[in-house]
């Protein structure tokens, strides 16, 4: 069972002049081409938030236009740069929960997947409030097998202070739900624009890379905001539910999309 994760695509209004540093929309188009060309097609693409850059309707129209080229189903969640109502409207096929937050639960290839809205409209930080904690608990309880949880904001401190500073309200509530409602085998996030692994409540948690700029890695407490041009790409998550029905057996791989061809072609041993 193969899932792809696109994150932090930050799509821009094509009419804007914000394409000054990298071509955000071109980067997503490149990633979509690479996803369509995967020799083993992923069963779905998790789009883990900050799908557009600032939330106006023309950005969502550009996002939908770009995703119309993707030959795979997409499961989006909002990030702090998104407008949750416009995101819902842009992807009407998503099994959105009947709730104020833009969350959903579905099953792909025998794996239950929950998309959890962690945003606070107008703010960079995260929040899991009581309604979202209760919705998550019931969604975990309703699952039949292992659960993959996706949310935009990582529920752990990264050590990159200027990113951590925006905070995560209700992190204790999320931790309590995960401790009291068993079944979540992995957590996938975005927001940090870097590949990072950690854990919460003993559950592995991972940040997928962005298709645009990445966050500079600087652990000094007074480090300034730094964006760097690491190679863009996406993450491929492989689950072997036949070998391990608990979902605890998995591997994750980064597919860089701008690396060129290797000049060396080894023969298979
Ligand atoms: Fe982002
Ligand atoms: Fe974000």
Quote the ligand 2 centre to 243 CA distance (angstroms). 35
pLDDT of residue 179: 98
pLDDT of residue 128: 98
Quote the ligand 1 centre to 108 CA distance (angstroms). 25
Quote the ligand 1 centre to 184 CA distance (angstroms). 24
3-state percent helix, strand, coil for the chain, nearest multiple of 5 = 20, 25, 50
Quote the ligand 1 centre to 38 CA distance (angstroms). 25
- Do 34 and 75 touch, CB atoms closer than 8 A? no
Quick: pLDDT tens for 147-176.
Answer: 999 999 999 999 999 999 999 999 999 999
- Do 204 and 149 touch, CB atoms closer than 8 A? no
User: Which residues make Cβ contacts (< 8 Å) with residue 267, sequence separation at least 6?
Assistant: none
The DSSP string of 20-76 is TSS-HHHHHHHHHHHHHT-SS--SEEEEES--BSS--HHHHHHHHHHHTT-SS-EEE
- Do 12 and 53 touch, CB atoms closer than 8 A? yes
| Structure-block tokens of residue 138 | 């019931």
pLDDT of residue 90: 98
Decide if domain 2-256 falls under CATH 1.10.600.10: no
Quote the ligand 1 centre to 25 CA distance (angstroms). 14
Quote the ligand 1 centre to 145 CA distance (angstroms). 31
Structure confidence at residue 263 as a pLDDT band (50, 70, 90): low
Quote the ligand 2 centre to 151 CA distance (angstroms). 10
Q: At residue 81, does pLDDT exceed 90? A: yes
| Structure-block tokens of residue 230 | 């690491």
Quote the ligand 1 centre to 10 CA distance (angstroms). 7
Structure confidence at residue 22 as a pLDDT band (50, 70, 90): confident
Quote the ligand 1 centre to 124 CA distance (angstroms). 10
Structure confidence at residue 248 as a pLDDT band (50, 70, 90): confident
Q: At residue 259, does pLDDT exceed 80? A: no
pLDDT of residue 247: 86
User: Residue holding tokens 């190679």?
Assistant: 231
User: Residue holding tokens 């061809």?
Assistant: 261
Indicate the DSSP class of residue 142: H
């Amino acid at each position: 069972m193969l899932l792809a994760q696109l994150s932090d695509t930050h799509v821009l209004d094509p009419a804007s002049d914000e394409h000054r540093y990298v071509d955000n929309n071109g980067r997503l188009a490149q990633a979509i081409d690479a996803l369509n060309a995967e020799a083993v097609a992923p069963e779905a693409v998790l789009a883990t938030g900050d799908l557009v850059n600032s939330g106006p309707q023309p950005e969502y129209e550009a996002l939908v236009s770009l995703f119309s080229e993707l030959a795979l189903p997409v499961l989006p969640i909002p990030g702090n740069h998104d407008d949750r109502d416009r995101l819902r409207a842009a992807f009407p096929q998503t099994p959105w929960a009947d709730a104020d937050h833009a969350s959903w639960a579905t099953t792909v290839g025998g794996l239950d997947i929950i998309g959890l809205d962690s945003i606070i409209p107008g703010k960079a930080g995260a929040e899991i409030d009581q309604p979202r904690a209760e919705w998550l608990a019931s969604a975990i309880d309703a699952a039949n097998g292992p659960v993959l949880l996706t949310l935009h904001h990582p529920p752990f401190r990264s050590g990159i202070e200027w990113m951590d500073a925006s905070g995560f309200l209700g992190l204790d509530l999320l931790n309590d739900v995960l401790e009291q409602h068993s079944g979540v085998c992995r957590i996938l996030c975005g927001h940090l624009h870097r590949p990072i692994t950690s854990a919460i409540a003993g559950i592995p948690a991972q940040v997928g890379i962005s298709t645009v700029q990445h966050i500079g890695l600087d652990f000094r407490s007074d480090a300034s905001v730094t964006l760097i041009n690491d190679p863009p790409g996406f993450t491929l998550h492989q689950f072997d539910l036949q070998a391990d029905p608990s979902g605890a057996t998995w591997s994750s791989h980064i597919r860089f999309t701008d690396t060129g061809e290797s000049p060396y072609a080894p023969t298979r041993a």
